[in-house]
Amino acid sequence: WKHVEILDAKTREKLCFLDKVEPHATIAEIKNLFTKTHPQWYPARQSLRLDPKGKSLKDEDVLQKLPVGTTATLYFRDLGAQISWVTVFLTEYAGPLFIYLLFYFRVPFIYGHKYDFTSSRHTVVHLACICHSFHYVKRLLETLFVHRFSHGTMPLRNIFKNCTYYWGFAAWMAYYINHPLYTPPSKWPQTRVLPSWAFPPCETGARHLCGKEICQLGNFSIHMALRDLRPAGSKTRKIPYPTKNPFTWLFLLVSCPNYTYEVGSWIGFAIMTQCLPVALFSLVGFTQMTIWAKGKHRSYLKEFRDYPPLRMPIIPFLL
């Protein structure tokens, strides 16, 4: 048997003393025991660590494998109110879908009374609505049926920041694209797309749509491949490799091709609409996804000694 004392990481006040804890007990089990004496701190709110300023212990860590004596001293930090990742994603993605449609259908009090429930005469406006709606419907369905989350919750306060980002940009883009005075590119649909791996040279505006949706399919393919790496209810991590699906072949060159495809999709949307808010959204998204990709790439290199050396985080051969 072992004894476990839990102290407040800030004040060093003793919060709990657990007597006769089994040596093979996990941190998750200790959290459940702690909750019995402090119900206000449910397991998802708890961060237990060996040092007040150290890293949080993982739920699967076993007590007897930690560098502690007969009496283990753990330090507690309150992570704050938590909310499930599924709820977060559904809220983040349902908002832009609904908000964009309000501007597309020109509901009252947006553009003026004479424009209420009118329709744009430009084809690109309708294509943009289809693309935007498809993107967020896809995200909602992936949240419900594809994604598997290694962490069940996130701090509740983050949902307000995330929703401000997604909902705010959706309203900004939709306002200009669906504005009665909006005019598409002067040569649309004859605008030439700049050559790239995702957008081959073409002469018709319809190819803008094609390039964007190819990236959407690529993004979905990567999400499915990542899902298949982790069995349901497991936190197993493996090196992702290309499959028979050609969209996954990008794994040969980058660690996070889902982000690569996501950026490509929004670049295609920006080119198709030539709307400044879309371009800024693409830039901000690219910056954030680059940070995430670099972090995941470093994690792969640290965890797997045989990780493919040619891969870059998000852009082949560059970044």
Give yes or no: residues 257 and 142 share one domain.
yes
What the block records as the tokens of 46 is: 């708890």
Whether the per-residue pLDDT at 205 is higher than 60: the answer is no
Cis peptide before 189 (omega within 30 of 0): yes
For the cut 50, the answer to whether the pLDDT of residue 200 exceeds it is: no
For 20, the domain range is 2-80
Share of the chain above pLDDT 90, in %: 73
Question: Is the domain of 91 the same as that of 177?
Answer: yes
Considering the domain architecture, whether residues 37 and 49 belong to the same structural domain is answered as: yes
Question: In the predicted model, is pLDDT for residue 57 greater than 50?
Answer: yes
Kindly provide the b/e burial profile for residues 197-218, where b requires at least 16 CB atoms within 10 angstroms of the residue's own CB: ebbeeeeebebbbbbbbbbbeb
For position 22, which CATH number holds?
A: 3.10.20.90
Q: What is the pTM of this model?
A: 0.84
pLDDT score recorded for residue 199: 34
Residues 70 and 167 in one domain: no
Q: Are residues 106 and 171 in the same domain?
A: yes
Nearest to 296 by CA among 254, 261, 267: 254
Q: Do 134 and 200 have their domain in common?
A: yes
Helices (H) and strands (E) in the chain, counts: 7, 6
Q: Say if residue 32 is in the same domain as residue 65.
A: yes
Q: pLDDT by residue (tens digit) across 290-306?
A: 999 999 999 999 999 99
- In the block, tokens 């996990």 appear at 26
Are 126 and 184 members of one domain?
Answer: yes
Whether 207 and 63 map to the same domain: the answer is no
**Residue 173: what pLDDT?**
97
Please indicate, yes or no, if residue 267 is contained in any of the structural domains: yes
- What confidence score (pLDDT) does residue 162 get? 93
pLDDT digits (tens, 9 = 90+) for 94-152: 999 999 999 999 999 999 899 999 999 999 999 999 999 999 999 999 999 998 887 77
Tens digit of pLDDT for each residue in 174-184?
Answer: 999 999 999 88
Q: How does the average pLDDT of the chain come out, rounded?
A: 89
Whether the per-residue pLDDT at 197 is higher than 80: the answer is no
The verdict on residue 315 lying in a domain is no
pLDDT average, residue stretch 76-85: 92
Q: Do 67 and 89 sit in the same domain of this protein?
A: no
Q: What are phi and psi of 14, to 5 degrees?
A: -75, 120
Looking at 94-103, 201-210, 220-229, which range is the least confident one? 201-210
pLDDT higher than 70, residue 279 = yes
Domain count, the chain: 2
55 shares its domain with 165: no
